[in-house]
Structure 1
Amino acid sequence: MTSPFASKLGTNYYPLDDEVLEIRALLVEPLSRLKRLDDQIAYLQKAIDELAQERESVRTFVDSHNELISPFRRLPLDIIQEISVACLPTHRNSVMSAVEAPILLGRICSSWRAISLTTPRLWSRLHIVEPSRLGVADAVFEEKLAQRVETTKTWLGRSGKCPLSISFQGCPDIPVPPGAISNDVFIPNTSHLFMQAIIPFTPRWQSITLCASSMVLETLSSITEDDVPLLQKLVISQHFGTASFLTLPPPTFALLRAPKLIDLTFGGSHANTQNLPIRWENLTHLSLMGYSDSSLTCRLVLQLLARCSQLQSCSLYFHQDDNSLPLTDEAGRTIELPFLHSLDISSVGFQPNGLGNVFRRLSLVALRHLDLRGHRESGLENPSFVTDLLAFLGVSLCFESLKIDTATFTTSSLTELLRGLPSSTARLHITGTFSWRLAPANGILNGILYDDVITVLTPTPQNPGICPALQELHIARCMSLSDEALLRFIKARMTAAHPTLRKVVITFSREMQVDIAQDIQPFSDDGRLEVITTYAQPPQPRAVGSFSPWQGLPDAPELADWAPMDDF
């Protein structure tokens, strides 16, 4: 359509009176046409709406009948049960929450609920969290406590005859508020209520993990070895902050003599560990986690290991107070553990002499993984310690992974260790510290990770042979390691004749100084290398509810991600 006023459209022009009449006359036909178009659109829209409504009705009819012939509806019951079991967490026990299996499965439909309630394997694994009194009204706490105890009984009651895996996260004793009776008085926890709920199921215990106070040991003292014929794994540790330290069970603690017990973890005092009624010769995993005064010494460690000929993995946290341990004690024989592939040693009061003697007494030909941690005392130096450690690793033909804490070494001894590692070493984990202690003997800062350390691992034309099979490097808590040194390491490893490096994970305790992302991007683009660098960020508050059923688990979600299970 053309208009004599085209040049005036979109401007601030104000028409004259006769022009207004002309414009009105001009719009008579367009207005009439606009109305006809609106009527036509409305007619067509009505037809479309009627067709859409009819289509929805037909689609509902078709979908509802297709559901009847869905292949999934014809799955055998055992297949549906297997799918349900596959929904369970594999790295931990299930929790009392409706946001994950098995409870979630019962909320899909009535059929799935019936299947879940009649599938014992879904209820054979349970993580129990004792509710905390802190910041909670007594009535609310009592209600939550009663619900958790009752849920425990109901849950395990659904497990049929399946072997049980149970983990329990207890609460520490809570001190009485100031002014009430005495500040040294503690309100006892309620762990015994949960123990009483799970003890009737002892014939089906297979894996039991308990994190609680010494009251738990008292509750379990009545259990005999005949009561736990299936028990293979037992973990008893202390919740941080409990009023009374977890003491060693007495020699009459028959639970430890379970006929199938092969995996044992105990945290507490170990002064008389060798007197416990344990079938040491059956153990394939042993973990003794103590305190600085636990009396788990180098001498005792050797005595225990000599009795565990079937060990495959071992974790020890002990106090080294016998650094003059004679090499000729116990008939002077070398302790051979032909099946032990993983060894984790954490030491309080680190004494190179004592630990060096332990390494000289052990022969672990199958060792693949070593985790060594301990804070070397200021001014304490023993050049033979690294020599003993390297000799110990040298007989391990399958060695491939080392995790160390830089606080165990000076910078010079750490670089010496790295230079002497077996050529088969494929994974290296190094954790730095924030210690600024000086070693007076050589003036080297202890525990600080400098460029010197990663430079040792950086191949050069003159020295390309250090850890030639290295595939992964993990470094945590880097304060003094520079971005440039890291870049040199990556470039040198990836441009070598036969590059083996596949993954680098570095956690810096500082802000970024040099962005190396573009320089290493070519190695990541072709899929040969994964590099993860994390720099210091302002701390973020993280709140987990006091009633969280995930408490004590490594993957506990944040408060906003879960809702209390109020209708189990």
Structure 2
Amino acid sequence: MPCTLRRTQRRALTFTRSLATAVKTTLSSSLFCDKNQTCSPFGHTSRHPTIPKHDIGRPRQLRRGHIPAFKYVHFIHRLPIELLAHIFVIGSEDDALSPITVSHVCHAWREIALRTPTLWRRIQLSPRLDMWTERIYRAGACTLDIQLLPWIPTRSFFPKHQHLDMHMVQWYIHFVAPLIRRWRSLEIVFADYSPFLWNASLSAFCSRSRRIQATSLESLTLVYRANDDTKEFCLFSGFAPRLRSVTLDGIRLAWLPSLFGNLTYLDYTHHGFTSGYDAVHDVIKILDVSSRLVELKILFPRKPLPAIPTRTQAVSRRVLLPSLITLHLRVEGIDIPFELAHLMTLILTPALTHLRFVDLERRQQPFYSLKSFFYVYAIPPSLRSLTVEHGWYDPPMVTPILRSLPSLRQLVVRRSHSPDHVLNLHSRSRKGRHQMGDVSGHMHLHVHPDRRAHATRRQR
């Protein structure tokens, strides 16, 4: 009996040693590399010099089953689908053909693009109406952004110019007119002159026989500087309750409260058919209706001859803009127009914090009537940021402006062939305000960092 027990123990010990050797060999071949391979942190191997093997006794190395090789996946495929779709939508705002490019990358991206209706909402009209018909279908029930521009989007970075005449414009507008209730924005820009362009593009919206209302319209842009049509257009039957942003240049519109009463942004360039007190009277009526503006940009361009006779009676009606925060006063000619100077004496802006004087022609010398303008226009004391550009800048006027604005925190001066000069006033007390000397000569110490490199290149 004892011999049998010893024989059984000897066999069990031999079997245990054999099993341990087999397990050790298996784990070494699956977990570690041979002499000519190097382990990767993701499980696969590569041909490199030998590295030390890990200790087989560590518990983290004892895994059951076969360890599959790790397949590398790009980090963009790990983003949530909602975030990836949002990135696609942002990219489509800069490039009308971006949705097509995105949908041709891979099968996963195509599924995401086809299931994102807002990605296809931008319709930039061109002769390929079959493509835009398919995009309207993919947009589903979401609102649309309609664009009629003087160029056609292409696969390259350079858009192709398209000539727009009356018949082509009317063809485009009748294509999208049935979807007017789904319009979120409308942008029409004409660069070249052609007769009856406004009639062809806006006749479908000004019909008196049927009621056409843009119930979803939020943004409107109408630009045609070479317009010679003096007719006053009444859009969308005078009803667009969601309209908040308007950009106008070269067109007369019937300014109704039901259409423009809720505006918060207005970029207005006067059509030029009226001048003098009549032009001021037109703008005053516009601002009286749109008294909720938060940002306002005004320009009175110079045209050869006004098409409508002007009156000689001065305008005395004042307008209060209690919510206006940002104001841009732009000049296009060689001097500040009389209409702009007279208009600024009739506007009350108690909450204005950002004021910018813009010179579109970048004059090197100050305007002739600059002192007269600041004599009639009192800058609001609530101003915190002031930008003076080119012809609006006169060095002797910097110190009086700073002394008259107790809340001013930043003054930016832009001149031709020179970097931006920025004067930051973070700590200003009432006592220090009266002791302030001439700071116009010290403004060269504050150079805007974004324009320093550009100015250096131009000087070279």
- The bucket for the TM-score relative to the shorter chain is 0.5 to 0.7
SS at match of 1:226: coil
Change (3 A) 1:120 1:275: closer
On the 8 A contact 1:405/1:431 being kept in 2, the answer is: yes
TM-score in terms of structure 2 length: 0.63
Residue in structure 1 matched with residue 380 of structure 2 by the alignment: 393
Q: Among residues 40, 52, 70, which one is paired with 1:63 in the alignment?
A: 70
Query: 5 Å matches for 1:395-414?
Result: 397=382, 399-413=383-397
**1:201-237 alpha-carbon deviations (Å, 9 max, x no partner):** 3221012222126625523321366342111211111
Residue in structure 2 matched with residue 261 of structure 1 by the alignment: 243
Query: 5 Å matches for 1:86-235?
Result: 86-88=86-88, 90=90, 93-97=93-97, 100=98, 102-124=99-121, 126=122, 128=124, 130=126, 145-146=127-128, 149-171=129-151, 188=165, 190-212=168-190, 215=197, 217-223=199-205, 226-235=212-221
Change (3 A) 1:48 1:249: farther
Please give the alpha-carbon distance, in whole angstroms, between the structure 2 residues aligned to 1:393 and 1:406. Answer: 22
Are residue 341 (structure 1) and residue 328 (structure 2) matched? Answer: no
Q: Among residues 303, 320, 328, which one is paired with 2:285 in the alignment?
A: 303
Task: Report the CA distance between 1:402 and its aligned residue.
Answer: 2.1
Task: Report the CA distance between 1:364 and its aligned residue.
Answer: 1.0
Could you tell me which amino acid in structure 2 is paired with residue 393 of structure 1? P
Q: Among residues 354, 357, 376, which one is paired with 2:342 in the alignment?
A: 357
Could you tell me which amino acid in structure 1 is paired with residue 346 of structure 2? R
Residue in structure 1 matched with residue 63 of structure 2 by the alignment: none
Please give the alpha-carbon distance, in whole angstroms, between the structure 2 residues aligned to 1:384 and 1:340. Answer: 24
On the 8 A contact 2:125/2:132 being kept in 1, the answer is: no
Task: Report the CA distance between 1:156 and its aligned residue.
Answer: 2.2
Task: Report the CA distance between 1:426 and its aligned residue.
Answer: 3.1
Task: Report the CA distance between 1:88 and its aligned residue.
Answer: 3.2
Please give the alpha-carbon distance, in whole angstroms, between the structure 2 residues aligned to 1:338 and 1:96. Answer: 38
Q: Among residues 528, 531, 534, which one is paired with 2:454 in the alignment?
A: 534
Please give the alpha-carbon distance, in whole angstroms, between the structure 2 residues aligned to 1:344 and 1:280. Answer: 20
Task: Report the CA distance between 1:153 and its aligned residue.
Answer: 2.1
Could you tell me which amino acid in structure 1 is paired with residue 124 of structure 2? I
Identify the structure with bigger relative contact order (alpha carbons < 8 Å, sequence gap 6+): 1
Please give the alpha-carbon distance, in whole angstroms, between the structure 2 residues aligned to 1:248 and 1:323. Answer: 17
Please give the alpha-carbon distance, in whole angstroms, between the structure 1 residues aligned to 2:237 and 2:70. Answer: 58
SS at match of 1:87: helix
Could you tell me which amino acid in structure 2 is paired with residue 432 of structure 1? R
**1:295-327 alpha-carbon deviations (Å, 9 max, x no partner):** 483332223212222222222111589998746
On the 8 A contact 2:262/2:292 being kept in 1, the answer is: yes
Please give the alpha-carbon distance, in whole angstroms, between the structure 1 residues aligned to 2:261 and 2:39. Answer: 79
Indicate the RMSD between aligned Cα atoms, in angstroms: 5.0
**1:461-489 alpha-carbon deviations (Å, 9 max, x no partner):** xx954999xxxxxxxxxxxx99x9623x5
Please give the alpha-carbon distance, in whole angstroms, between the structure 2 residues aligned to 1:506 and 1:382. Answer: 28
Task: Report the CA distance between 1:247 and its aligned residue.
Answer: 3.9
Please give the alpha-carbon distance, in whole angstroms, between the structure 2 residues aligned to 1:365 and 1:455. Answer: 24
Change (3 A) 1:107 1:324: same
Residue in structure 2 matched with residue 180 of structure 1 by the alignment: none
**1:118-149 alpha-carbon deviations (Å, 9 max, x no partner):** 2212222x26275xxxxxxxxxxxxxx43xx3
On the 8 A contact 2:411/2:422 being kept in 1, the answer is: no
Could you tell me which amino acid in structure 2 is paired with residue 372 of structure 1? F
Could you tell me which amino acid in structure 2 is paired with residue 170 of structure 1? P
Task: Report the CA distance between 1:369 and its aligned residue.
Answer: 1.8
Please give the alpha-carbon distance, in whole angstroms, between the structure 2 residues aligned to 1:55 and 1:91. Answer: 37
On the 8 A contact 1:257/1:278 being kept in 2, the answer is: yes
Change (3 A) 1:194 1:428: farther
Task: Report the CA distance between 1:253 and its aligned residue.
Answer: 3.7
On the 8 A contact 1:292/1:318 being kept in 2, the answer is: yes
Residue in structure 2 matched with residue 548 of structure 1 by the alignment: none
On the 8 A contact 2:267/2:298 being kept in 1, the answer is: yes
On the 8 A contact 2:213/2:239 being kept in 1, the answer is: no
Residue in structure 1 matched with residue 412 of structure 2 by the alignment: 429
Please give the alpha-carbon distance, in whole angstroms, between the structure 1 residues aligned to 2:102 and 2:456. Answer: 41
Please give the alpha-carbon distance, in whole angstroms, between the structure 1 residues aligned to 2:356 and 2:312. Answer: 23
On the 8 A contact 2:170/2:201 being kept in 1, the answer is: yes
Change (3 A) 1:379 1:91: same
Task: Report the CA distance between 1:408 and its aligned residue.
Answer: 3.1
Could you tell me which amino acid in structure 1 is paired with residue 351 of structure 2? A
SS at match of 2:212: helix
Please give the alpha-carbon distance, in whole angstroms, between the structure 1 residues aligned to 2:294 and 2:426. Answer: 33
Could you tell me which amino acid in structure 2 is paired with residue 339 of structure 1? S
Change (3 A) 1:250 1:218: farther
Show structure 2 runs of 5+ residues with no match. 1-33, 47-65, 153-162
Change (3 A) 1:293 1:416: farther
Change (3 A) 1:432 1:127: farther
TM-score in terms of structure 1 length: 0.52
